[in-house]
Structure 1
Amino acid sequence: MIVMKFGGTSVGVPEHFELATRLVADRVPQDPVVVVSALAGITNLLVEWCAAPRRRRELARRLVERHLEFARASGVGAAVIAETLDSWGEEAAGAGAADDPLTGAERDRVLAFGERFAALLFAAGLRARGVEAAAVHAGEAGLVTDDRFGAAHPLPESAALLRRSLERRPPVPVVTGFIGRSADGRPTTLGRGGSDYTAALLGVALGAEEIQIWTDTSGMLSADPRIVPEARPVPRISFQEASELAYFGAKVLHPKTLLPAIDGGIPVRILNTARPGHPGSLITPSAEPDAGAWRVKSIACKKGITAVTIVSTRMLLAHGFLARVFESFGRHHVVVDLVTTSEVSISVTVDDPGRLDPVIAELEAIGRVEVRHGLAVVAVVGEGAPQRLGLAGHLFTLLGGVGVGVEMISQGASRVNLSFVVKEEDADRAVRLLHRGLGLDVEAQVASG
């Protein structure tokens, strides 16, 4: 069996919706389990509804109108979502224009409506094609999570519960992405990338042959196409390479999506709903079988970075100094991206500067702290590429030739990633230059020609 996940752009307009339901209908012999996100823009609308009490009536009306119009335009009819529309009306009326902020549990209950509507519509679209299908609430099917509302984690028993409730097919299950249910029955959400994460969890629980992520690009690309228009799809990539790209800014896949797939050894394929004949990108446990030589696969860029440097002579011959630094970041839930050290200093990068103040206050007790904002991390990713003799020198020669300064470099234990920090204003120029300088644009022309 296969898992087929469709994002908001793949189901957000009737034309794409028709393509997506046809793709599933054509693959019924492969025993598909479908995962859907909310229609494009709906989650943002619901987030706004939660945050703007005085606009709730208007936003609630827009949500209803959007789904009714979509049901009409896609030909499935409004009856399939009537009961959920009633539930939404009760939710919206109950909150009214109260100024009190919503609790995490209340917010997740509201956000869950987007996927609930989408699953009902998609299942109806499949039935219109003669496919026996049913909408399934992931939480009710067994996706039980902790109660960290907004960023919930599945509990260990979820896999067995999901397997038990979904093992009998048909009908084709159309499962809500992004949402689960706490042990006491309250809706939860899995955070950013939650629908992809749901697909991966289901793939592992059900023993899928492949997890397919259908989106609006033909796979993972050699660079962000908004920066490099000629970026090309990468045909095959390892879990480790894909994880590095996702972590450092590749929007097509969220890093946590790959964790269940890695544990289960299940390949993930990224496909384009509008170009179903394109093979996309296949993500597997290892790189190509013949990947004995190095090869840069892609260049990722993560903006909005802040660098923190701690300078202290106490580092000299001191035991436990680094531990104290990282304990401070960990205590305040600040995730560190890159790390470099010297005899008397340590520099780290973070992408959430809003939590830095208490960290800095603690670190100033052990050294002088310097903070630099407005930076970006550029990551050159490819199996074996960082070990290639002269690669770093080649990159810095290219960048130096156009006046792009490197603020920091990190080549850690990973065999697949060479990262460096530049000013955010130089990031796009650096990505374009390296894409061309490493020959990725030439491969793009060959692949497309």
Structure 2
Amino acid sequence: MSLSDESQPASPSSSASTSSAPSPPTPPNLHQNTVDPAARWLVQKYGGTSVGKFAAKIAEDILPGYLDQHKVAVVCSARSGSTKALGTTNLLLRAASEALQRPNTPTATPGNQTPAAYPWTRQNSLSMSSTSPPGTPQRVNGTRSGSPDFTPISSVPDVKSVAPFTATVDLILSEHVTAARSLIRNEELLKELEQEMERDCEALRSFLFAAQVIHEISSRSKDSIMGVGERLACKLVAAVLRDRGIDSEFVSLENIVPAISDEQEVSFGADGQLEQPFYDALTTVLGDRIRECGSRVPVVTGFFGPVPGSLLRQVGRGYTDLLSALLAVGLEASELQIWKEVDGIFTADPRKVPTARLVPIISPDEAAELTYYGSEVVHPFTMEQVIRRSIPIRIKNVENPTGGGTVIHPTAHIDEPEVPVGTSALAQLPPAVPFLPGTMAPIIVARPPRPPRKSPTAVTIKERIIVLNVNSNRKSVSHGFLARIFGTLDAFGIVVDLISTSEVHVSMAIEDRSERKSVDRLVRELQKLGSVSLHRDMAILSLVGKSMHKMVGIAGRMFSTLAEGGVNIEMISQGASEINISCVIDGRDATKALNLVHRDCLQVGADANQGRGAFVLHFS
């Protein structure tokens, strides 16, 4: 099928270069992926903060420990900035918004084609009159100066007034060039990288100007704009790896999806989302593309558009995690590692609960519940892609690479048979279980040699919640009462986190993401069905554990703890799977409630490891 469902200018990434940047010949003694045919692939995904702050650490302390035993593929998100506002993705979205602003200068007439009407004309004339392209380091007595010496397009007054996004693009370029100069020591490699970055930003500038001319940015155009962030980040990381002696190759996936669509019909579900066969086909193409890198370490963009229906609409801003999962499936990887700035998943947020401890292994269902109710783990759809292929996911800390992290394991069960007393825990490990290099921690988690004390897995809090209460004002409620309520919520695009119902009363907890005016309109619409009350600044407290359905009295202990602590409960809900117990409380009591429940329901003193019935073996 054809993916071209709308007219739009060529994407900024495709204008800049093809699927991968040209790589120089491999110098001798560069560290490469192992050539052992028995070695399996390992996919490592690094977030924007890791790329922004720890690129050198990735190249020096993390990757070298894996290359001799695994074939490693690296996936990178767009680089973060010194502040959230200076993050690459936020800057790209800002530039896209600025491209829709009408220019303040008069439109050029046929007899007066000034450079102001065509920003790229002025930029090209500046570039051609210079002996080196903008952004190239200036040399003083044979050395590179300490500050960037750009000739940004925004410095030309008439061009800046026509294209307000140019200053934002200059800022994106400056942020990346500054980072490159602080990380890369090889002068030739640095020069090549700066030129690559400048070409990408120039292509982005032209793309945005074309969007400004037609005064439209489609959803697919926004996808392409967002993809520039991953291109810049991956080129930077690939250069840093090469500078540190690791043979790397930048891989862009912008042409992957069209290749799939040319061979098969892409179908959508009733909700407008792409169906699983599309992602299954994508895994095969991804695996084939990365294997073409040979022994080089591929550094892969998280962006894999254009996707039918728009990547942002289909997946959202978490598409880099999804790409990592699909790549792990395509390569039949032994493990998917997601590197963050925390040691893994904890029994509670360690920033709010000082006694929180690391959970060494967790089931996918538990991880999905924690993600939904406030803890940023991995999106359930992303987890599903690898878990159904029996590939474990390990959450690791880029600042603590030797730590074991948390494993989301497909076969993590709480209620497996007990280990007999006196049996060695080491004897319980299956034969030939590989140890992850640098951690000496096996993927399989052994049970301690004495019967465990059951407890929930974690407690989490989701703040900024609104509670809506709808009470019917009719003596007899029609069967369509609930249908009309949910039809109204659907019309406003509202997702309900928790719900509690009776014959004439419905209480709903929803996330406070909408503007106040939008919520007020929702309330007015619901008032057609009955009286409505609204409570803002609430929080959802959730106790999660796969074996909680066998813990007699755990709900009573949770609610008694909150009552003794003076925490009022607005709503109570327990899922049909009995994997979590949730309640809605005042947002001002969130941190206090989190500590109280953690202390009384998860804190087990000296026997902390027995609370989960599992521990990770460490060997010295």
Calculate the TM-score normalised by the size of structure 1. 0.87
**Partner amino acid, structure 1, of 2:70:** Q
Picking from 33, 39, 46, the partner of 2:92 is 46
Query: Secondary structure of the residue that 2:367 maps to in structure 1?
Result: helix
**Partner amino acid, structure 2, of 1:7:** G
Query: Secondary structure of the residue that 2:358 maps to in structure 1?
Result: coil
Deviations 1:362-411 (A, max 9, x none): 54333333222211111111122255222222222222223211110110
Instruction: Determine the C-alpha separation between the residues in 2 that align with 1:82 and 1:248.
Output: 44
Q: Where do 1:251-266 residues align within 5 Å? A: 251-266=376-391
Asked whether 1:162 is paired with 2:286, we answer: yes
CA shift in 2, pair 1:340/1:386, >3 Å: farther
Q: Where do 1:15-164 residues align within 5 Å? A: 16-22=54-60, 23-28=62-67, 29-40=69-80, 41-52=87-98, 56-75=165-184, 77-92=190-205, 95=208, 102-142=217-257, 155-156=278-279, 157-164=281-288
> Which deviates more from structure 2 when the two are superposed, residues 122-131 or residues 410-419?
122-131
CA shift in 2, pair 1:393/1:290, >3 Å: closer
Shift of 1:235: 0.5
Instruction: Determine the C-alpha separation between the residues in 2 that align with 1:342 and 1:172.
Output: 58
Q: Where do 1:39-438 residues align within 5 Å? A: 39-40=79-80, 41-52=87-98, 56-75=165-184, 77-92=190-205, 95=208, 102-142=217-257, 155-156=278-279, 157-168=281-292, 169-183=294-308, 190-288=315-413, 290=415, 294-312=454-472, 319-351=479-511, 352-354=513-515, 356=519, 359-385=522-548, 387-438=550-601
| Partners of 1:294 and 1:383 within 8 A in 2 | no
**Partner amino acid, structure 2, of 1:3:** V
| Partners of 1:221 and 1:298 within 8 A in 2 | yes
CA shift in 2, pair 1:281/1:339, >3 Å: same
CA shift in 2, pair 1:229/1:196, >3 Å: farther
Deviations 1:248-303 (A, max 9, x none): 11124344432312333321100011111110000012434546864222111111
| Partners of 2:373 and 2:460 within 8 A in 1 | yes
State the aligned residue count: 442
Report which of the two has the higher share of strand.
1
| Partners of 1:138 and 1:179 within 8 A in 2 | yes
> Which deviates more from structure 2 when the two are superposed, residues 317-326 or residues 337-346?
317-326
Shift of 1:436: 2.1
Instruction: Determine the C-alpha separation between the residues in 2 that align with 1:260 and 1:126.
Output: 29
**Partner amino acid, structure 1, of 2:495:** V
Query: Secondary structure of the residue that 1:371 maps to in structure 2?
Result: strand
Instruction: Determine the C-alpha separation between the residues in 2 that align with 1:291 and 1:377.
Output: 31
CA shift in 2, pair 1:193/1:187, >3 Å: closer
Shift of 1:353: 4.0
Query: Secondary structure of the residue that 2:500 maps to in structure 1?
Result: strand
Which structure would you say has the larger Rg?
2
Instruction: Determine the C-alpha separation between the residues in 2 that align with 1:56 and 1:171.
Output: 37
Partner of 1:3: 43
Instruction: Determine the C-alpha separation between the residues in 2 that align with 1:17 and 1:435.
Output: 36
**Partner amino acid, structure 1, of 2:570:** E
Instruction: Determine the C-alpha separation between the residues in 2 that align with 1:43 and 1:320.
Output: 44
> Which deviates more from structure 2 when the two are superposed, residues 48-57 or residues 131-140?
48-57
Deviations 1:143-188 (A, max 9, x none): 879999xx9868343223223322343332211114422359x886
Deviations 1:68-120 (A, max 9, x none): 12112211514125234223124235546969574433333222111101111
Instruction: Determine the C-alpha separation between the residues in 2 that align with 1:137 and 1:239.
Output: 30
CA shift in 2, pair 1:365/1:188, >3 Å: closer
Instruction: Determine the C-alpha separation between the residues in 2 that align with 1:112 and 1:128.
Output: 25
Shift of 1:443: 6.4
Instruction: Determine the C-alpha separation between the residues in 2 that align with 1:387 and 1:187.
Output: 42
CA shift in 2, pair 1:122/1:383, >3 Å: same
Deviations 1:206-241 (A, max 9, x none): 222211001111111122233224432211100000
> Which deviates more from structure 2 when the two are superposed, residues 167-176 or residues 290-299?
290-299
Query: Secondary structure of the residue that 1:403 maps to in structure 2?
Result: coil
CA shift in 2, pair 1:86/1:178, >3 Å: closer
Query: Secondary structure of the residue that 1:368 maps to in structure 2?
Result: strand
Calculate the TM-score normalised by the size of structure 2. 0.64
Instruction: Determine the C-alpha separation between the residues in 2 that align with 1:74 and 1:342.
Output: 62
**Partner amino acid, structure 2, of 1:58:** A
Instruction: Determine the C-alpha separation between the residues in 1 that align with 2:554 and 2:385.
Output: 33
CA shift in 2, pair 1:316/1:427, >3 Å: farther
Instruction: Determine the C-alpha separation between the residues in 2 that align with 1:444 and 1:48.
Output: 51
Q: Which 5+ residue runs of structure 2 have no aligned equivalent?
A: 1-40, 81-86, 100-162, 418-452, 610-614, 616-620
Instruction: Determine the C-alpha separation between the residues in 1 that align with 2:241 and 2:267.
Output: 33
CA shift in 2, pair 1:365/1:187, >3 Å: closer
**Partner amino acid, structure 1, of 2:44:** M
CA shift in 2, pair 1:317/1:152, >3 Å: closer
Shift of 1:123: 1.8
Instruction: Determine the C-alpha separation between the residues in 1 that align with 2:606 and 2:474.
Output: 50
**Partner amino acid, structure 2, of 1:46:** L
Query: Secondary structure of the residue that 1:39 maps to in structure 2?
Result: coil
| Partners of 2:193 and 2:235 within 8 A in 1 | yes
Deviations 1:405-442 (A, max 9, x none): 11101101123211111111111221122222224384
Q: Which 5+ residue runs of structure 1 have no aligned equivalent?
A: none
Identity, in percent, stands at: 33
| Partners of 2:256 and 2:304 within 8 A in 1 | no
